[in-house]
Amino acid sequence: MSLDDGHYKKVLDNLYDGIYLLSEDRKIIYWNNGAETHTGYSKSEVINLPCHKVLMHVDDKGKSLCNDSCPVSQTIQDNTLREVEVYIRHKEGHRIPVSMRIAPIKDSNNQVVVAVEICGEGSPKFTLQQKLREMKDLALLDPLSELGNRRFLEMNIKGKIEELERYKWPFGILFADIDHFKGINDTYGHDSGDRVIQMVSKTMSNSLRSFDVMGRWGGEEFVVIVVNVDEEQLYAVADRLRFLVDQSSISIGSETVNVTVSIGATLGKPDDDINTILSRADRLMYESKRAGRNCISINSEKEACSRS
């Protein structure tokens, strides 16, 4: 069956996972319905464009993979199947984590074509949709970000404190604030500010483990509850979130708008209550603001602000 076979394309179009085909010069020559669902880009928007103009792949450190580290180019060169974990840029601007399988094949003219399969986390997200409905019914959902609200966060933090006291299960808190957010609202309007909040919330929440919890504390502030971590691991999670937000953007008219976040990070202590741990994380977040923004302050024997 050739790559131009209509039946072949019909089968691919009905797969949930995203599939797209690239020519040897990495231009998109086929884009299935699953790829549209995962990325937000329609076929008409991407066909014949170089893939790096559309998806802008980065690793978990925010490093671009579209040049020297391009896995597609490597597959074209060595004819080897590859599987990579990357973050792609959704049309709405936020980053999403995907697993990609990259395979070399030949079309009916014996030309090398690269097939890329995008596998999002979880396949059909009925569980997530059900969870959102339940949170909405219980008045625990923030409607703008579609994250848990302050009440939801307080309930979860209380539970983690109780687990720490009873079972010694460690957890950490990240308090994140969008930098210069007032300037976004003043320059572009509150609708654009809402889009920035949605972009940041999706980028960060999509990049967490399934058992970690994120919510919107209020305004441009977010709280993340990270379980079963030590201080080094907590910092690594915070740094990944910071990198990925820095690599996300939205389009406002002809402009591309990027934002950053300042993060305060702290581990739970046996004598903590909700107020003490959140106050500590909030204070550390302001340390990051004072240190120049787009960085992380984590409490240890010596509090330090770091960014790569």
Of 67, 90, 120, the position where a domain reaches its end is: 120
What whole-number percentage of the chain has pLDDT above 90?
Answer: 49
Question: Which are the contacts of 207, defined by CB distance < 8 A and separation ≥ 6?
Answer: 60, 87, 95, 97, 240, 241, 244
What's the pLDDT tens digit per position in 252-275?
A: 999 999 999 999 999 999 999 999
Distance CA 63, CA 247 (A): 9
Distance CA 264, CA 176 (A): 6
List the beta bridge partners of residue 201. none
Over residues 43-61, mean pLDDT: 87
CATH number at residue 113: 3.30.450.20
- Within a domain: residue 301? yes
Q: Does 206 lie in the same domain as 139?
A: yes
Mean residue pLDDT of the chain comes to 84
Q: Does 114 lie in the same domain as 153?
A: no
- Within a domain: residue 1? no
Distance CA 147, CA 212 (A): 12
Distance CA 221, CA 261 (A): 9
- Within a domain: residue 163? yes
Q: Does 171 lie in the same domain as 139?
A: yes
- Within a domain: residue 13? yes
Q: Does 275 lie in the same domain as 191?
A: yes
Q: Does 277 lie in the same domain as 156?
A: yes
What whole-number percentage of the chain has pLDDT above 70?
Answer: 83
Joined tokens for residue 104: 């070399």
Distance CA 224, CA 278 (A): 11
**What was the pLDDT predicted at 302?**
40
- Within a domain: residue 155? yes
- Residue 100 banded pLDDT, cuts 50, 70, 90: confident
- Within a domain: residue 69? yes
What's the pLDDT tens digit per position in 171-211?
A: 999 999 999 999 999 999 999 999 999 999 999 998 898 88
Catalytically annotated residue among 36, 220, 221, 287? 220
What's the pLDDT tens digit per position in 123-180?
A: 334 445 555 566 566 677 888 998 989 988 998 999 999 999 988 999 999 999 999 9
Q: Does 189 lie in the same domain as 294?
A: yes
Q: Does 208 lie in the same domain as 64?
A: no
Using CA atoms of 160, 166, 170, 171 in order, give the dihedral in degrees to the nearest 10: 10
**What was the pLDDT predicted at 108?**
58
pTM: 0.71
Q: Does 273 lie in the same domain as 139?
A: yes
CATH number at residue 167: 3.30.70.270
What's the pLDDT tens digit per position in 11-24?
A: 666 655 788 888 88
Distance CA 189, CA 290 (A): 26
Q: Does 269 lie in the same domain as 182?
A: yes
Nearest to 276 by CA among 169, 157, 164: 157
Of 66, 87, 120, the position where a domain reaches its end is: 120
Q: Does 15 lie in the same domain as 130?
A: no
Distance CA 35, CA 47 (A): 12
Residue keyed to tokens 């579609």: 146
- Within a domain: residue 189? yes
Residue keyed to tokens 């030590």: 230
**What was the pLDDT predicted at 2?**
46
Name the strand (E) or helix (H) holding 16: none
Q: Active site includes 220?
A: yes
Structural domains in the chain (count): 2
Nearest to 15 by CA among 90, 131, 116, 130: 116
Using CA atoms of 19, 195, 204, 27 in order, give the dihedral in degrees to the nearest 10: 30
- Within a domain: residue 224? yes
Q: Does 260 lie in the same domain as 157?
A: yes
At 300, the amino acid letter reads: S
Which range of residues forms the domain containing residue 253? 126-306
Q: Does 242 lie in the same domain as 166?
A: yes
Of 120, 141, 167, the position where a domain reaches its end is: 120
Least confident of 40-44, 95-99, 237-241: 95-99
